[in-house]
Amino acid sequence: MSAALGEIWRNRIFYLFALPFAVLTILFGVWPIVLSIEVSFTASATALKPSPTWVGWANYATVLADPLFVASLGRTLVYTVLSVVANVGVALGLAVLFDSTLLKRGNLFFRLAVFLPVVTPDVAGYVVWRWLYDRSFGAFNAALAGLGLPAFTGLSSPDTATLSLLLAELWHHTGFYMIIFLANLAIRDRALEEAAVIDGADAWQRWRWVILPQIRPALIINTVYALIQFLKTFTVVVVMTKGGPNDATNFVSYYAWQLFDQGRYGEATAMATVLFGLVVVLSLGVFVFGDREAAR
């Protein structure tokens, strides 16, 4: 105990500077989460009263017995897996392309073009995507019609709505993941690749055994970040589909918000807590797994 206090005292200047940020994090980050979890154990009608009625796990039981929630959770997990793979995969491919000597002319222009959607306001971007998909006047179907191809049902069919959202989100987010990969590629040790060339390694072997291990930190960070981002998918649904058609894009965040909007605070926060738990467990799982692999 005294050793710990001594350690703190020795680093007192660091803790002094860190204190305001720690207080802000607790106040605006941790405390709302704690309050939200607290609300999930109360009856909705009394949730905002000074002395709410405690209902134990009843809201969780209701939520887990709701087939719409279970379907929404499954849908969210499938969408997350597809989006993480698509975003991280495309970002990695683009980063490797822009880092290579294949694309010398216009390299900066293309980097900017891929990154620009990241700084575009997401609502504005998704409104434009919605118009692109519109079956009456959208550009996609105009192009398909011009080529004599059948129309793309886009957001209006449960069969294609998820894919449509995934493409819009890919456009919006992949530039961010690409920049992380590019930063990691820029600081890698190129001498190792030269040594591999001398040892007779071909291009694939150099990529797989020399470059990829060096960009593992970016891969882990991007995967964890994308996992968190897509598990919480919300804005794109609000703007483009409102959970439809026929619940095809009714992900957990949106479903919880719908209940919140109906004043069903207990169930809504129970859903949010389940999602929060899932985000924490999966993110930590991926992080620990990646860390262990790196340590091998």
Partner 1 sequence: MSIVSKIFGAVALTAAAVVPVNAQQLTVWHDLGDNGIKWFEAMGAEYAKTRPGITVRSLSFPTDQWFGRVIGALNTDTAPDLIFNNYERVIRIETQTGKVEDLAPVLAGIADKAFLGEDDLRVAGFRGKTIILPIQRVQMGFGVRKSWLDKVGEKFPNTWEDAERVAEAFRDRDPDGNGKADTFGFALEAAKPRDLIHMLDLFVFGSGLRHTLIDPQGAIVVDEPAHAKVLEEFLKTYSTYRFVAPDTINHSFAEMYQVIEGGRAGMFRVGDWNVKKWDGANVLAGDFLVGPWPKFAADRDNAVVIAGMRGVAVPSNAPNKALAIDFAKFMLSKAAQQASLDNVGAAVRKDLDVSALSPRAQYFARAEGRLVAYDFPESIHEFYPELEAAYHRRLLAGIANPPADWKPFIAETAKEMRDLAAKLAKK
Q: At its nearest, how many Å lie between partner 1 and the CB of residue 44?
A: 7
Which one of residues 36, 62, 107, 156 is an interface residue with partner 1 (CB under 8 A)? Answer: 156
Question: Residue 246 region, left (φ>0) first, then alpha (ψ -120 to 50), else beta?
Answer: left
| 203, 266 Cβ separation under 8 angstroms | no
Could you say which DSSP state residue 188 is in? S
Which one of residues 107, 157, 235, 283 is an interface residue with partner 1 (CB under 8 A)? Answer: 157
Burial 84-94 (b: 16+ CB within 10 A, else e): bebbbebbbeb
Give residues 15-44 in contact with partner 1 (rule: CB under 8 A). 44
Compute the residue count for the chain: 296
Binding mask 235-264 for partner 1 (x = CB under 8 A): -----xxxxxxxxx---------x--xxx-
Q: At its nearest, how many Å lie between partner 1 and the CB of residue 76?
A: 18
Find out whether the peptide bond into 245 is cis, omega within 30 degrees of 0: yes
Q: At its nearest, how many Å lie between partner 1 and the CB of residue 241?
A: 5
SS3 per residue for 94-135: HHHHHHCCCCCCCHHHHHHHHHHHHHCCHHHHHHHHHHHHCC
Question: Residue 229 or 241: which CB sits closer to partner 1?
Answer: 241
Q: At its nearest, how many Å lie between partner 1 and the CB of residue 67?
A: 11
65 touches partner 1 (CB under 8 A): no
Could you say which DSSP state residue 199 is in? T
290 touches partner 1 (CB under 8 A): no
Q: At its nearest, how many Å lie between partner 1 and the CB of residue 136?
A: 5
Copy the structure tokens of residue 270. 């129970």
Which one of residues 2, 3, 17, 50 is an interface residue with partner 1 (CB under 8 A)? Answer: 50
Q: Of the listed pieces 111-119, 131-139, 171-179, 280-288, which binds partner 1 according to CB under 8 A? A: 131-139
